[in-house]
């Protein structure tokens, strides 16, 4: 029966009927996404295109950027257990309603609701323990590796994490350098977000953009806590790039992109593990650094795309 077809079958049929979409949507696949992750996120994108009527295949726009950012946030939540500000979580859960992810990973929701959620599977902590002990599932080896990473991360991020991300950011550094040269150099009149976005996508990755009203943020520097506006945090491959403040979301995103591009002005970029504040706690975060010494700390983190157990261990 037609009603029994899987989401993947429906997506394949839809792309078959709309061949002009196939090549376009494939350009959004992340460099490190598995087939399973990309199949789910692709369905998320196609299901929600009608909710963004200004999105046109082959045309860059702020609506497209927002939809892709939400798709990445949804995939990070489903496959990595990431959490975001409540408004973002409500939005991606609504957009992901009805998408079934077979054998989805299980995560312990910190302070969240236990039980089945769309595309997430059970959030019962006992299921994670059973998998770690070697349940008879087809992906038991992958689950065991995930469980081992969770154990190693309880005292902080694994020391090899920066080295795993460094090759990608070496490529991104070269892409940004060439882009800035063709644009006449780094300056205030550039479209910093567009430059950063196109360079990241040329390296087969996507930017993660988290936007939150200033009034909803704790731990902000003195003098900003009473101001109206938004704050934006940019990440790529879970690595923190920059934070920006602005009167509205586009302005905050533009400032965050400008701060991120400043890191690429040195002779090289390096992924490092640094201490940051997140929800009132000190956490270890992957951060992209230049070769210049820093005289001040980082802004508080808006998102923390790593295992929740690290926060619960505090």
pLDDT digits (tens, 9 = 90+) for 80-125: 888 888 888 889 998 988 888 887 777 554 434 333 333 433 333 3
CA 236 to chain centre: 7
CA dihedral 103, 104, 105, 110 (to 10 degrees): -140
Q: Report the candidate in 76, 136, 134 with the shortest Cα–Cα distance to residue 104.
A: 76
Give exposure, 208-231, as e/b (b: 16+ Cβ within 10 Å): bbbbbebeebeebeeeeeeeeebb
Structure tokens at 203: 């390296």
What domains sit in the chain, N to C, each tagged with a CATH number? 2-122 (no CATH), 161-312 (3.30.160.20)
Residue 20 is predicted with a pLDDT of 67
Q: Give the C-alpha distances (Å, rounded to integers) separating 125 from 116, 196, 211.
A: 13, 38, 30
Is residue 44 within 8 Å of residue 75, measured between CB atoms?
A: yes
| pTM score, whole prediction | 0.52
pLDDT at 251: 92
Confidence (pLDDT) at 163: 92
**CA separation for the pair 89, 217 (Å, rounded):** 16
Beta bridge partners of 236: 239
- Low-confidence stretches of the chain (pLDDT beneath 70): 1-20, 107-156, 218-227, 293-296, 307-314
């Amino acid at each position: 029966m037609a009603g029994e077809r899987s989401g993947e079958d429906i997506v394949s049929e839809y792309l078959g009927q709309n061949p002009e979409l196939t090549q376009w949507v494939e350009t959004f696949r992340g460099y490190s996404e598995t087939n399973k992750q990309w199949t789910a996120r692709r369905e998320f994108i196609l299901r929600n295109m009608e909710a963004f009527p200004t999105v046109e295949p082959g045309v860059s726009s702020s609506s497209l950027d927002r939809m892709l950012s939400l798709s990445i946030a949804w995939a990070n939540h489903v496959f990595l257990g990431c959490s975001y500000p409540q408004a973002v979580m409500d939005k991606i859960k609504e957009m992901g309603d009805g998408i079934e992810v077979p054998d989805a990973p299980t995560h312990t929701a910190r302070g969240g609701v236990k039980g089945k959620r769309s595309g997430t599977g059970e959030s019962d902590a006992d299921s994670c323990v059973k998998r770690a002990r070697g349940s008879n599932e087809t992906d038991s080896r992958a689950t065991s590796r995930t469980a081992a990473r969770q154990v190693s991360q309880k005292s902080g991020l694994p020391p090899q994490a920066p080295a795993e991300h460094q090759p990608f950011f070496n490529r991104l550094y070269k892409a940004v350098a060439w882009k800035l040269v063709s644009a006449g150099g780094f300056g205030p009149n550039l479209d910093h977000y567009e430059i950063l976005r196109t360079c990241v996508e040329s390296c087969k990755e996507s930017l993660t953009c988290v936007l939150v009203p200033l009034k909803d943020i704790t731990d902000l520097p003195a003098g900003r806590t009473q101001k109206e506006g938004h704050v934006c945090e940019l990440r790529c491959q879970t690595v923190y790039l920059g934070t920006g403040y602005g009167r509205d979301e586009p302005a905050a995103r533009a400032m965050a992109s400008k701060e991120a591009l400043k890191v690429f002005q040195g002779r090289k970029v390096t992924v490092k593990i640094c201490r940051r504040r997140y929800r009132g706690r000190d956490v270890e975060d992957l951060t992209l650094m230049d070769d210049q010494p820093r005289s001040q700390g980082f802004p508080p983190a808006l998102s923390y795309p790593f295992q929740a157990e690290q926060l619960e261990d505090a």
